Structure 1
Amino acid sequence: MQILPAIDIKDGEAVRLFKGDFARKTVVNSDVLGQARIFADAGIKFIHVVDLDGALDGRATNRDLIAALKVATGLGVEVGGGIRTLEQIADYLAVGIDRVIIGSMAVKDPAFVKTALEQFGADRIVVGIDAKNGYVATEGWLETSTVDYISLAKEMEKMGVSLFVYTDVDRDGTLTGPNFAHYERLVAELTTAKVIASGGIAELSDLTKLQKIGVAGTIVGKAYYSGNINLDQLKAFED
């Protein structure tokens, strides 16, 4: 199982939110590049980066900082937040970003995902499914749709999506443990696509449970920044 430490960027700093609430922001490192170097120096191979400003703005607000992060560290990087156009995706890939996450647009314009898959390939395009009470949240988690997470995942899989990041918004940043039932169902319902778990990781045992469920990867944010899980443990777990 791949372990992906998270860097969420707001106002040029690495932050953590509580349940996606922008008013409940904690700065975990004012130096985003410095935080990325910490991960690289620890032997981490891949990180998950979210442009929180971009999620609100609907554009790649922190693109230059994220591009600099990739160049400075050589880490594998997947990026989400504010991805609304094919031009944004092409630009991120052109500066070396490995995977681009499409979130809100998967609900609002499924044809956009199909075009992105055709143009860039399923190994570069990830669909991010963020849910509140099982229903997909969009626009930086500020809006909730009437689409349930399983229906969207199955629709996207038929379209050719091979990798999802699934986040239970109500668990994100809470250190209360992942929504294991949702991951069990999602893994069982999908036939070929893989799932990266995100949200609620509190301790090392959560990673073990997720691995047993069969997720392909897990994103670790607050559990690392709060000291519950250290980088040596994450690296050893992935190895």
Structure 2
Amino acid sequence: KNPDFVRLACDTFPGHIIVGIDAKAGYVATDGWAETSTIRATDLAKDFRDAGVEAIVYTDIERDGMMQGVNISATVNLAVEGGLPVIASGGVTNIDDIHALSEVAHKGIIGAITGRAIYEGTLDVAKAQVLADRMTASL
């Protein structure tokens, strides 16, 4: 909601700014996910890229906390169309999701955030870390 703040942050701390984009059906969600805007997530990512943002934390709010798996296609689309590395958030449920994200790392997926899967015991963090370490070693 405040693009001037993002630009100022990028100018003040070049190379150190990562911002979040929360989206529903490809459109930016705001106000604690209560509102869905008319702005496409990919367009906002491009604006952030042009402002000097280094990466995006992308949350597909339809998947967040639902234990339904990560939305690989939307996450990759944001990275490719937006032209920025993306950290996937929302829907990371088990090691299969980490494996699927590692398979598309070459398209700009650089990490994942998970929460409920750890609490529920569906994601073995040690195994996920081994897979992530292998992925980063091959990049």
Fold shared, TM-score > 0.5 on shorter chain: yes
Please tell me whether residue 209 in structure 1 is matched to residue 103 in structure 2: no
Counterpart amino acid of 1:133? A
Cα drift, residue 145 of structure 1: 1.5
Question: Structure 1: how far apart are the matches of 2:87 and 2:27?
Answer: 18
Counterpart of 2:119 in structure 1: which amino acid? Y
Tell me the amino acid that sits aligned with residue 28 of structure 2.
V
The structure with the greater share of residues assigned to helix is 2
User: Alignment partner for residue 7 of structure 2, among 114, 130, 136?
Assistant: 114
The one-character-per-residue Cα deviations of 1:15-37 (angstroms, maximum 9, x if unpaired) are xxxxxxxxxxxxxxxxxxxxxxx
* Equivalent residues in 2 for 1:1-239, closer than 5 Å: 108-123=1-16, 125-191=17-83, 193-214=84-105, 215-239=109-133
For the 8 Å contact 1:187–1:213, the answer to whether it is kept is: no
Question: Which one has a bigger Cα radius of gyration?
Answer: 1
CA RMSD of aligned residues (A): 1.3
**Normalized per residue, which structure has more strand?**
1
Amino acid at match of 1:110: P
Identity rate, percent:
42
Deviating beyond 3 angstroms after TM superposition, the runs of 4 or more aligned structure 1 residues are none
Q: TM-score, normalised by structure 1?
A: 0.52
Which consecutive unaligned segments of at least 5 residues does structure 1 have?
1-107
Distance in 2 between residues matched to 1:201 and 1:139, nearest whole Å: 23
Say how many residue pairs are matched: 130
2: distance between equivalents of 1:196 and 1:163?
A: 8
- Structure 2, unpaired ranges of 5+: 134-139
Deviation string, structure 1 residues 68-110 (Cα, Å, up to 9, x no partner):
xxxxxxxxxxxxxxxxxxxxxxxxxxxxxxxxxxxxxxxx121
TM-score, L = length of structure 2: 0.86
Output the amino acid matched with 2:15.
A
